[in-house]
Homo-oligomer: A and B are copies of this chain.
Amino acid sequence: MTSRLSHVDDRGRATMVDVGAKEPMHRRAVAEGFFVARAETIDAVMNGRLPKGEALAVARVAGIIAAKRCDELIPLCHSLPIEAVQVDFERVDGGIRIVGSASVTGKTGVEMEALTAVSVAALTLYDMTKAIDKQLRIDGITLLEKTKVRVPQPDVG
């Protein structure tokens, strides 16, 4: 594996990687991240005085929308007709684990879409709780898995 950055051409200029010659495949990516907060904060978000899920619903929607607009946020990222996005939350020790996944049938992967969904969902939780907790932190945003499978050709005979 060389250390040549994929988005920088041989003269060092930023460029979108040309994916024109790549095969359209069914691609999927899963990312995770952690919203770290005090236990009372997590309580308020997860199952506290709120109607179950409203805060999470807002963060989920924010993550899904952001995944669809990933190409606007990440300058050299391709526009892709995302086929599914999912954002889930799970209480873990010290915080909330956020898992985001995205899938597409296209010429390039959706890692950035999954990572963006997680990041923006986490930022949204940050926004909704920053008035009650001064020690919030977002940690461990990383790609968990990335798969691609060939698209079955329709019968043409």
* Interface of A toward B, CB cutoff 8 Å: 1-8, 12-20, 23, 26, 33, 40-41, 43-45, 48-55, 57-58, 60-62, 64-66, 68-69, 71-86, 88, 103-107, 111-112, 115-116, 119-120, 122-124, 126-132, 136-143, 153-154, 156-157
Contacts and interface: CB of A to CB of B under 8 A. Distances in A.
A76 to B, nearest CB: 6
Contacts of A1: 132
Contacts of A104: 20
B15 A86 contact: yes
A58 B132 contact: no
**Chain B CB within 10 A, most for which of A48, A62, A104, A136:** A62
A111 B7 CA distance: 23
Contacts of A140: 137-139
A141 B130 contact: no
B123 A5 contact: no
A68 to B, nearest CB: 5
A64 B50 contact: no
Contact of A5 (B2, B20, B77, B128): B128
A7 B50 CA distance: 11
A125 to B, nearest CB: 10
A81 B79 contact: yes
A84 B19 contact: yes
A139 to B, nearest CB: 5
